[in-house]
Amino acid sequence: MAVYTQVSAEALGAFLARYDVGALVSAKGIAEGVENSNYLVDTTRGRFILTLYEKRVDAGDLPFFFAMIDRLADAGNPVPRALPDRTGMVIQTLEGRPACLIEFLSGVSLSQPTPTQARAGGAAMARMHAALTDFAPVRPNSMGVGAWPQLFEQCAPGLDSIQAGLRERVDGALDRTLAAWPHQLPTGAIHADLFPDNVLMLGDEVTGLIDFYFACTDVRAYDLAVMHSAWSFDGRGVPLDPAVGRALLEGYEAGFGLSPEERAALPVLAQGACIRFLLTRAWDWINTPADALVTRKDPLAYLRRLDWYENNRNAFR
């Protein structure tokens, strides 16, 4: 469960008193997620999400994330704005952590999307990219291709403890991916983590895009590759019906378009996505005690995806 920081009722009451949101009725820690502490907060005026930013989120990046969310919301995308307090302040400090009160969006995240739902997900990413084409703020991708060699070096000593031979396997894949990386593709503001658990849906309709805390400026088609790697497999990394991945691409292509160069690059972009999530999960696996309250995500589920993309290079044709 992802509640790293406990918030006392007194501190939460004082925090909410800064806003025009009514009085505290209840607050429950949210089990999902691994990065930040999230609470579902009910007040006499409505329901909100309280997020306290933990290890990987730099508070200095929050203005970029919220500017991006505001732009998306203004364009009609279903994204949760961070609420200002009565003095206009959005980023607060609570229990010693940077913290924000966020709009609550309805919907549930899927564990096994159907092709129809995947098409809707791809279309939602297309609308997001369209709304961001002239978004000026820039944030380099701290988890992007330039960061992977160092991330690999940090994880390398522990990789074989996860699975024998993993260090050499990832080392080789990283070398090949870096050599083939398409640096010339169009860039823009991207979400960079649009997993099914960051898309809220009701039936076949997307009702929320959440968790913009890895958003950055990077190759736009990489965003789609990350999404493909997350949506086309089950939680263990076993491929779903290939129609799911195809529908995702169709939804995106119909909404935003995909150039021949971007489509041709998808295999290497997807392999890069696998390396990114394999390594960050491996880092957490190695550095989180097995009995910690947070549920560690399996790095090997991303090794299986990497194997699949390497063995199915025609998957995007």
Ligand X SMILES: N[C@@H](CCO)C(=O)O
Ligand Y SMILES: Nc1ncnc2c1ncn2[C@@H]1O[C@H](COP(=O)(O)OP(=O)(O)OP(=O)(O)O)[C@@H](O)[C@H]1O
Footprint of ligand Y on this chain (CB under 6 A)? 2, 30, 32-36, 38, 49, 80, 102-105, 109, 197-198, 208, 210-211, 213
Instruction: Find, among 226, 189, 195, the residue nearest to 211 by Cα.
Output: 195
Q: Report how far residue 137's alpha carbon sits from residue 87's, in angstroms, rounded to the nearest whole number.
A: 24
277 interface partner picked from ligand X, ligand Y, none, CB below 5 to 8 A per type:
ligand X
**Which residue number, 16 or 34, has a Cβ lying nearer to ligand Y?**
34
Backbone angles phi, psi at 101, to 5 degrees: -100, 125
Smallest distance from the beta carbon of 222 to ligand X, in angstroms?
Answer: 14
Q: What ranges make up the beta strands (E) of the chain?
A: 24-29, 37-43, 46-52, 92-94, 97-103, 187-190, 199-202, 205-209, 216-219
Smallest distance from the beta carbon of 260 to ligand X, in angstroms?
Answer: 29
One-letter amino acid of 99: A
Structure tokens at 262: 């971007």
36 interface partner picked from ligand Y, ligand X, none, CB below 5 to 8 A per type:
ligand Y
Smallest distance from the beta carbon of 70 to ligand X, in angstroms?
Answer: 23
**Which residue number, 49 or 189, has a Cβ lying nearer to ligand Y?**
49
Smallest distance from the beta carbon of 37 to ligand X, in angstroms?
Answer: 14
Smallest distance from the beta carbon of 278 to ligand Y, in angstroms?
Answer: 15
Exactly one of 141, 177, 229, 280 binds ligand X (CB under 6 A); that residue is 280
Number of residues binding to ligand X, judged by CB under 6 A: 8
Q: Report how far residue 205's alpha carbon sits from residue 16's, in angstroms, rounded to the nearest whole number.
A: 32
Structure tokens at 273: 């996505």
Q: Write the interaction track for ligand X spanning residues 90-119; mark x where CB under 6 A is met and - where it is not.
A: ------------------------------
Q: Which residue carries 């961001």 as its tokens?
A: 132
281 interface partner picked from ligand X, ligand Y, none, CB below 5 to 8 A per type:
ligand X
Structure tokens at 171: 């080392």
- In this chain, which stretch among 70-78, 123-131, 174-182, 273-281 interacts with ligand X, using CB under 6 A? 273-281
**Which residue number, 16 or 206, has a Cβ lying nearer to ligand X?**
206
Structure tokens at 177: 């991916």
SS3 state at 281:
helix
Smallest distance from the beta carbon of 277 to ligand X, in angstroms?
Answer: 5
Q: How far is CA 186 from the centre of its chain?
A: 20
Smallest distance from the beta carbon of 135 to ligand X, in angstroms?
Answer: 22
Smallest distance from the beta carbon of 223 to ligand X, in angstroms?
Answer: 13
280 interface partner picked from ligand X, ligand Y, none, CB below 5 to 8 A per type:
ligand X
The residues that bridge with 99 in the sheet, in sequence order, are: 52, 92
32 interface partner picked from ligand X, ligand Y, none, CB below 5 to 8 A per type:
ligand Y
Q: Report how far residue 41's alpha carbon sits from residue 1's, in angstroms, rounded to the nearest whole number.
A: 17
Beta carbons within 8 Å of 68's beta carbon, 6+ residues apart: 132, 135, 137, 189, 212, 215
Q: Is 39 in the site for ligand X (CB under 6 A)?
A: no
The residues that bridge with 37 in the sheet, in sequence order, are: 52
Q: Are 224 and 252 in contact (CB under 8 A)?
A: yes
**CA contacts within 13 A on the Cβ side of 78:** 18
Q: Write the interaction track for ligand X spanning residues 178-207; mark x where CB under 6 A is met and - where it is not.
A: ---------------x-x------------
Q: Write the interaction track for ligand X spanning residues 18-37; mark x where CB under 6 A is met and - where it is not.
A: ----------------xx--
SS3 state at 298:
coil
The contact set with ligand X (CB under 6 A) reads 34-35, 193, 195, 277, 280-281, 297
